[in-house]
A and B are shown apart, each in its own frame.
Chain A
Amino acid sequence: MANRPQPSFPEPDTQHFWEGCKAGELRYQRDAEGNVVFYPRAHSTADGSGGLTWHVSSGLGTVYTYSVVRQNRMPGFQELGAYAVAYVDLDEGFRMLTNVVGVANPTADIQIGQRVQVEFEDQDGDDAYPIPVFRPI
């Protein structure tokens, strides 16, 4: 899956997250009270305050749930075999939509509760943003 849809910019909320992916970092935010904010935004979802700070995740998490997609008519995915989409709960307390990769048979080899580690999958094109996906550990 090296030809995935890329994020598009300008988009001020998510640019720093994706620059992090280029640097090999999975970035997330906290507000002044320490509440985790994810997906990235300019305001705290707890109280609307600004001044969020960026942090780098360990990239370790747990599969919250997943599905193996057998059919996707979207270019870039439609010719793939079955692949797994998942919500992964990162240890720092945020949940992201992602893929679980690196298993022979996604239907049999992925389980809810499984521990996973982020990796950044390179994409075609010199300026392409690598995509953060997860592999069981």
Chain B
Amino acid sequence: MAQERVAAIAGIHEYPLRVAPGVSSMQIKADSMKRALDDAGLSWSDVDGLYDALDGEGGGGLGLAAYLGIKPRMIDTTQVGGSSYEFHASHALRDIAAGRTNVAVTTYGSTSASMRVPIGTGGLGRGGASWQQNMEAPYGSTLIANYAMVAHRHMHDYGTTTEQLAQISVATRKHAMRNPEAVKAMTDLQFVKVDEITVEDVLESRIVADPLHLLECCMISDGGGAAVFVSADVARDIKKKPVWIIGSGEATKYRENDGDITTSAGAQSALAAFSQAGVTPDEIDIAMIYDSFSITVAVCLEDLGFCGKGEIGPWMADGHLAFDQPGLTLNTDGGGLSSNHPGMRGLFLLLESVRQLRGESTSQVEGAQLAVAHGNGGLLGGTHTGGTVILAAD
């Protein structure tokens, strides 16, 4: 089926450092925007649209425009957790098609590592009075515990094992070891072992929240980056080949009295995205899935339709997630597990998808034509979003 090609990612930048003391998140955002525009061959003054996820000290699209010194004609401050950037790409497709912007940027900057933010283990519910905080804060749940409860139920319902889930950590680390920025990240963040890992390594790492082990959990880093979204007209004259946004979907899910915690919002967002793109999961070469934890990837791969619900364990067992194996390839930059997780990883899913579809990845899949970037924002097992973006090579 012929895909509509109205919006593309024209330029990208990933901030290279994961430990960046003395740099502000706003500086990372501005620097990344400049470099992503350079990557596209576009200039600061070309920017007429701004997406922002309320990160850093920026105050959203309002404060960021002032900081950057630009006056865009389209501003969208969508903050839905780590998948915000998939939502931005989705909105860019919509807004560019509607003629509201021709060159739009989304930026991300975070100094979570330097600020010692305990994202996963800091405890939830430290905010003021709210209907949800009042019902959850007293119990001492953590972000990780929410994901761990999904893993437990998945194991109970489908017989999934840690050995099976560990395939995700193993493949991701293999890719990370080929990415110099990921190797530097693990070194700077003082990983015990900066090397490929085995299933046994995962099993032997300490449990943070049953049943999730340390090597199933993403790192906490500094970092950021930017992506430039452009119209088809602009895409004709950029420096590199455009990567087309051909479908997108958005969804939310939350604790429900009779809900199935092993199915995420991704089941809904993926249907919309694949339908719009006119492609099926078996045509996808690269899956960039938000790997906050092993279980996030496992559930999302099922929900995106790469295998049936509950089948992920056996489906991954042959190790095909690695870039040099036949079959679907996962998280070729090293993922949040082993390359970069400043708190909202969604942007990096888009960036590595673009690298793959341009042929620029450090774990390049030869001839990759289609990628899916799927972000899970908020808490899997609790209130969360799913943002699915399908990208095609030029």
Contacts and interface: CB of A to CB of B under 8 A. Distances in A.
A67 B122 contact: no
Contacts of B151: 67
A64 interface: yes
Contacts of B212: 67
B156 A83 contact: no
Contacts of A131: 138-139
Contact of A72 (B123, B152, B206): B123
B261 interface: yes
Contacts of B208: 70-71
A99 interface: yes
Nearest to A86: B149
Nearest to B135: A39
Interface in B104-161: 118, 121-123, 125-126, 128-142, 144-146, 148-153, 156
Contact of A8 (B129, B142, B150, B211): B129
B45 interface: no
B258 to A, nearest CB: 7
Contact of A13 (B131, B138, B257, B259): B131
Contacts of A66: 149, 152, 210
B123 A14 contact: no
Contacts, number: 136
Contacts of B149: 65-67, 85-87
A85 B141 contact: yes
A115 interface: no
B342 to A, nearest CB: 18
Contacts of B209: 67-71
A112 B145 contact: no
Q: Which of A7, A66, A73, A133 has the most CB of B within 10 A?
A: A7
A13 B133 CA distance: 11
A67 B131 contact: no
A87 B156 CA distance: 14
B222 to A, nearest CB: 19
B131 A11 contact: yes
A66 B381 CA distance: 11
B282 interface: no
B317 interface: no
Contacts of A64: 153, 261
B200 interface: no
A17 B257 CA distance: 17
Given A94-B257, A95-B256, A112-B156, A67 B210 contact: yes
Contacts of A38: 257
Categorize the interface residue count of chain B: 35 or more
B255 interface: yes
Contacts of B138: 4-7, 131
B135 A96 contact: yes
B131 A5 contact: no
Contact of A74 (B123, B128, B255): B123
Contacts of B122: 72-74
A60 B146 CA distance: 23
A9 B256 contact: no
A107 B121 CA distance: 18
Nearest to B210: A68
Given A36-B257, A64-B261, A67-B209, A7 B137 contact: yes
Contacts of A50: none
A133 B144 CA distance: 20
A90 B210 CA distance: 23
A39 B131 contact: yes
B207 interface: yes
Interface string A81-101: 001011101000111111100
Q: Which of B128, B135, B381 has the most CB of A within 10 A?
A: B135
Contacts of A5: 125-126, 137-138
B209 to A, nearest CB: 5
Given A40-B131, A65-B150, A71-B121, A97 B255 contact: yes
A32 B386 CA distance: 32
Contacts of A96: 135
Contacts of A77: 123, 140
Contacts of A87: 149, 255, 261
A134 B154 CA distance: 22
Interface of A: 1, 4-11, 13-14, 17-18, 36, 38-41, 64-74, 76-77, 80, 83, 85-87, 89, 93-99, 107, 112-113, 131, 133
Nearest 4 pairs between A and B by C-beta? A74-B123, A67-B148, A7-B134, A65-B153
Interface of B: 118, 121-123, 125-126, 128-142, 144-146, 148-153, 156, 206-212, 255-259, 261, 381
Given A77-B123, A95-B257, 11 more contacts: A14-B134, A18-B134, A39-B135, A67-B146, A67-B212, A73-B121, A73-B122, A74-B123, A74-B126, A97-B141, A99-B139
